[in-house]
Structure 1
């Protein structure tokens, strides 16, 4: 088998794997949570507080990042992609620049600007959905006031700081964009696969999951997390408005966590009833 055949075979296998992942993601229904997050966020004015407090510096960072990536990166990338994509190079280069600026922006903003604001949004959503007991494991939750106003001081911060491994994986996936249409779709889907679990980092901490338990949990729900992460990634690709969607995606992730908790409690109640029924016999 020649080197070219090996490359084709690798791409074919990766495409099949991604297609299977996409099917699982579609069946899970988790891809709807980022959309639900938008409507829930808009309906709960109290959840706007963390976003409003960081809005101006975050938008400024978003504009600067977007302008810089397009100014320095669009033409060189379009020229390279033209060799592989032909007329589609202009569109694919624009999508690539949007993805790059989104990645840079998210890394910088979540590290230096909005980390605690996103945590407050996640926790506030859980409190609003009746999961104050879960949130109280990592911070004090008051009894009066709105969901955000009830949140006390954070005990620990869950979001990871700058992660070189994530950037390395991102660069490794970039060549997929040389494949017209399908390659770009695969690239975004793989980004979503990484972004999905990251959206529940706070949930994992509130549940007291160590790394091994997190990996096991994610593996069982890989399709669901990929579906959530892909839609969330696409929303955050929108120039400037990606700032807003970062908060609504966090809201959507919290809504999903609240539903998981609700189902878990229902299952426990059912199991207890069965045990009581057996003992009664």
Structure 2
């Protein structure tokens, strides 16, 4: 007798929808985690002043010189006030691209690595971190202080020219009334999401084929995660803070994925305590 189609609904619809919703909440979990764990604050303070000054400089100039011309152009295609809304997101997106280029290339990556590693240590996955740096047993209440200097090249997320190019190319989607901004975030989030787990993939020893397979299996989860991550990057001045909390969120997600993986492996290798001898049973 064939299996009833309705029995597949949980596997096909319910579970994937649940997993996607959970993944999209991780960027916010990262913010809450960062705020509730003061041991991460020194990593923010070291970057705070230059971040605020540079973000403010970039956004003020963009709004002063480009906002009204872009709104005027959008008004050709938009009705009523939607040109102002989409124009605001367009300028914020341009600012986010510039800030990301400057911060991630020159200021943030080392701090993101430290945050990612510290969160994994805090969650009990020191073995992953020790592949790239020593982890001491001192300062047990402060995972950041337990981290030694990296023993090999450590990158949180590689510079992706393709991601930046897609970001710029897709910016005109903001010309589309109402639906343009969500489409822009989802399409750029498709690539941004997996890049946030670059360090986790390195810790797992994945090659390019394995990375792509892992991300493809979680395509919608990474897309929505990336979309929310990019949405937070559009918040004026605070984009630097959210770059750092993103490292915490990706580490929290990696820790949960690792918990699931190890639990699955432990279950798979379990051997029954007792098995009947077939000859005796006969």
Q: TM-score, normalised by structure 2?
A: 0.86
The unaligned stretches of length 5 or more in structure 2 are 1-14, 277-282
Q: 2:146 aligns with which of 125, 150, 165?
A: 150
Q: CA deviation at 1:64?
A: 1.4
Residues 125-172 of structure 1 show CA distances to partners (whole Å, capped at 9, x for unaligned) of: 111111111111111111111100011112212245543322321232
Q: What is the rounded CA distance, in whole Å, between the counterparts of 1:184 and 1:53 in structure 2?
A: 33
Residue matched to 2:186: 189
Q: How does 1:15-164 map to 2 (within 5 A)?
A: 27-28=19-20, 29-87=22-80, 88-145=82-139, 146-154=142-150, 155-160=152-157, 162-164=159-161
1:277 to 268, 272, 279: 272
SS in 1 for 2:78: helix
- Specify every segment of 5 or more residues in structure 1 that has no aligned partner in the other structure, as ranges: 1-22
Whichever of the two has the greater Rg, that structure is: 2
How many aligned positions are there? 257
Higher normalized contact order (CA 8 Å, seq sep 6+, divided by chain length): 1
Shift of residue 119, structure 1, vs aligned partner: 0.7
Seen in structure 2, the aligned counterparts of structure 1 residues 72 and 157 have a Cα distance that, compared at 3 Å, is farther
Deviations 1:195-250 (A, max 9, x none): 21111111111111111111111111010011111111111211111211111121
The CA distance in 1 between the partners of 2:220 and 2:69, in whole Å, is: 35
